Amino acid sequence: MIVIARRTDITLDIALGSRVIRMQPYGENEGCSMREAIRPSDPRVDWARRTAMVALVATVCGCGSTRTGTPQKAIAPPSAPDDAPPPEPPPSPPAWRTPRTSPQISPSVDRAIDYVLEQSDHPRAAVLDFAARSSTPRFHVIDCARGEVLQSFRVAHGHGSEGKREDGYAEVFSNESGSNASSLGLYRTAETYRGVYPGLSMRLDGLSSTNSNARSRFIVIHEASYMDPASWKGKKSGRPGRSDGCFVFAKADRDAVINYLLGGALIYACYEKSVR
């Protein structure tokens, strides 16, 4: 029977049968003496028992050839301090993304407003809904910061656009000179001037392939008496007059539109045919 006891002075007493062997573990610069444990002339212990005892002593005393380091403790990730500010909420969509509830704003016009607001770098823009009848306010001026319709106006379309029914609806659009038709697409307001039409007029530049000839066709914003309600309300046609392709308003409306859109504002003329 082998009894091993650890002493406080880091020596090891081994009781092998009736004999006690004291072992010293090695330090940094000394080996471990095993002479007392493996003396061949000792008749009282066989060699196998000696070998097993030496291996056990080497393990306990640290004489093995392999040393293991002190195991590392797992380091927990730092936790957020108790007074850390809450995470910021995701950014809110622009105000003009909110639904518009005006009965004059159809879903197609709502999409057109979103489109022009994405392009605009002016405080205001406008959408002209050519699918609406000319007797209804269909030229919508928009506040770009809030995405709200500021005011809506009646505007004429070209007499080349009305088609065969002559019912106040535009159905044909052209970019060709001499067509006397309205053109669809994106416009930018340009300079004002005084010319053949009464009062102030405003030139337009066509930014789309469908209205690129706007300036050369003299497509402008101006006023005309046939847009005044007194000239057509109660009449057989029940609709305003028609232009040669220009955006024509009543006098007071022309003044308001120019004031709103002066200085490079965008106008988007759109048409989404609906069943009438």
CA distance 111 to 209: 20
| Cα-Cα-Cα-Cα dihedral sign, residues 53, 54, 58, 64 | negative
58 phi, psi to nearest 5 deg = -60, -40
Per cent of the chain over pLDDT 70 is 61
Name the pLDDT band for 166 (thresholds 50, 70, 90): confident
Query: Can you tell me whether residue 192 is helix, strand or coil?
Result: strand
Q: Burial-class residue 220 by CB neighbours within 10 Å (0-12, 13-18, 19+).
A: buried
pLDDT tens profile 96-153: 444 555 666 788 899 999 999 999 999 999 999 999 999 999 999 999 999 999 999 9
Q: Annotate 140-164 with b (16+ C-beta within 10 A) or e (fewer).
A: bbbbbeebebeebbbbbbbbbbbee
Report in angstroms the alpha-carbon separations of 155 from 25, 105, 138: 106, 16, 7
Name the pLDDT band for 71 (thresholds 50, 70, 90): low
Which pLDDT score is estimated for 239? 85
Which pLDDT score is estimated for 234? 76
CA distance 133 to 6: 106
Please give the mean pLDDT across all residues of the chain: 78
Query: Can you tell me whether residue 38 is helix, strand or coil?
Result: helix
Which of the two residues, 215 and 22, has the higher pLDDT score? 215
Q: Nearest CA to 206 among 226, 178, 177? A: 177
* pLDDT of 62 above 80: no
Please spell the DSSP secondary structure of 168-183, one letter per residue: S-------STT-----
The tokens describing 206, both together, are: 């066509």
The pairing of strands 266-270 and 185-194 is: antiparallel
Which of the two residues, 230 and 7, has the higher pLDDT score? 230
Helix (H) or strand (E) holding 254: helix 251-261
| Cα-Cα-Cα-Cα dihedral sign, residues 162, 164, 165, 166 | positive
Looking at mean pLDDT, say which of 1-5, 59-63, 77-81 comes out highest.
77-81
* pLDDT of 242 above 90: yes
Check: CB of residue 94 under 8 Å from CB of residue 147: yes
Which pLDDT score is estimated for 231? 87
Which pLDDT score is estimated for 164? 80
* pLDDT of 181 above 80: yes
* pLDDT of 57 above 80: no
Question: Of 36-50, 75-89, 194-208, 211-225, which range is least confident?
Answer: 36-50
Per cent of the chain over pLDDT 90 is 52
Which pLDDT score is estimated for 61? 52
Which pLDDT score is estimated for 85? 63
* pLDDT of 27 above 90: no
Name the pLDDT band for 214 (thresholds 50, 70, 90): very high
Which pLDDT score is estimated for 274? 63
Which pLDDT score is estimated for 46? 56
Q: Nearest CA to 161 among 139, 176, 183? A: 183
Which pLDDT score is estimated for 100? 56
Which pLDDT score is estimated for 33? 47
Residue type, 55: A
Domains of the chain and CATH, by start: 2-61 (no CATH), 100-270 (2.40.440.10)
